[in-house]
């Protein structure tokens, strides 16, 4: 992993973002990234926690909720693990999800081919994994309790609609973080859909509302920074940057997912987490 390259382009994008509009008129969007969503730590650290609390919105899509919540837990005294402890994270995460090479990889191939089957990993693995590294009191909180303006999109299978978990949505603002972190990255067919109240939620990236999701979520905002798996370009009101050094983001996602489902070690997860969490804030 080319840490200096990632750090430099992160700093450039964040500096440009900060120069375009006041924080209360600006949006940060963290776009998925699957098993190794730790790459988002570069952007979170470059902005710094105090700035995150001043944003108009912090949109965390799919697995991006994981680094967002751990970063918040660290800043608010709710983290049980240190940065160095995260060297154990890859093994602990796979164990929490109950992945098995013999069962997972054939099922994954079937999922790629569009074959119907039960979920590959055991339900609730995301909250079980997060519970290892943050306090139970933190997991019991809702988005309304957080100091950051978190907005998490979910796809509601019951209604076929895109739903937003946020302070501003009274129907879902009481969703515990333990439920949120299971719902957001729940890729249907790999992870079990999550039920909350009368609704059933899955990952919006792998749903009928996926197309144009970022533009829909950022709307006509004056200023948005998008930490993206695949896109890197600058527009009048959006900055897209890839906080990784892979030539093909989709291949990076698939490689990390295959290693995870195959119960195989992935050293890049700790490297990305440590480098991202120790990255210095842009002045």
- Which tens digit of pLDDT belongs to each residue from 118-136? 567 788 999 999 999 999 9
Of 272, 225, 281, 227, residue with least CA distance to 89: 272
**pLDDT (average), residues 145-174:** 97
- Which tens digit of pLDDT belongs to each residue from 223-241? 999 999 999 999 999 999 9
Q: Say if CB 243 and CB 6 are below 8 A apart.
A: yes
Tell me the domain boundaries of the chain: 3-277
Q: State how far the Cα of 28 lies from the Cα of 19, in Å rounded to an integer.
A: 14
Given a cut of 90, is residue 191 above it in pLDDT?
Answer: no
- Which tens digit of pLDDT belongs to each residue from 24-80? 999 999 999 888 899 999 999 999 999 999 999 999 999 999 999 999 999 999 999
Of 52, 56, 77, 59, residue with least CA distance to 148: 52
Number of neighbours of residue 157 by Cβ within 10 angstroms: 17
From residue 44, give the alpha-carbon distance in Å to each of 14, 29, 48, 89, 268.
Answer: 10, 11, 6, 19, 18
The pLDDT score that the predictor gives to residue 123 is 85
Q: State how far the Cα of 207 lies from the Cα of 61, in Å rounded to an integer.
A: 13
């Amino acid at each position: 992993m080319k840490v200096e390259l990632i750090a430099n382009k992160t700093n450039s994008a964040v500096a440009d973002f900060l120069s375009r509009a006041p924080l209360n008129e600006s949006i940060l969007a963290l776009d998925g990234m699957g098993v190794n969503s730790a790459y988002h730590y570069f952007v979170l650290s470059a902005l710094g926690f105090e700035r995150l609390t001043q944003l108009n919105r912090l949109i965390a899509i799919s697995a991006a909720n994981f680094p967002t919540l751990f970063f918040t837990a660290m800043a608010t005294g709710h983290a049980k693990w240190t940065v160095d402890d995260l060297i154990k994270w890859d093994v602990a995460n796979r164990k929490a999800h109950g992945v098995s090479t013999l069962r997972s990889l054939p099922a994954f191939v079937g999922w790629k081919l569009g074959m119907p089957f039960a979920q590959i990993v055991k339900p609730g693995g995301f909250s079980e994994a997060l519970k290892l590294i943050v306090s139970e009191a933190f997991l019991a909180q809702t988005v309304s309790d957080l100091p950051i303006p978190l907005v998490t999109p979910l796809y509601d299978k019951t209604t076929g609609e895109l739903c937003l978990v946020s302070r501003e949505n009274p129907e879902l603002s009481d969703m515990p973080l333990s439920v949120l972190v299971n719902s957001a990255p729940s890729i249907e067919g790999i992870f079990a859909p999550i039920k909350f109240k009368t609704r059933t939620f899955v990952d919006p990236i792998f749903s009928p509302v996926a197309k144009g999701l970022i533009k829909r979520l950022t709307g006509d905002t004056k200023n948005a920074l998008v930490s993206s798996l695949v896109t890197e370009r600058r527009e009048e009101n959006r900055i897209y940057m890839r906080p990784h050094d892979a030539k093909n983001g989709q291949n990076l996602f698939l490689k990390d997912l295959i290693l995870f489902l195959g119960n195989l070690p992935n050293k890049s997860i700790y490297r990305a987490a440590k480098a991202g969490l120790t990255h210095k804030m842009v002045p």
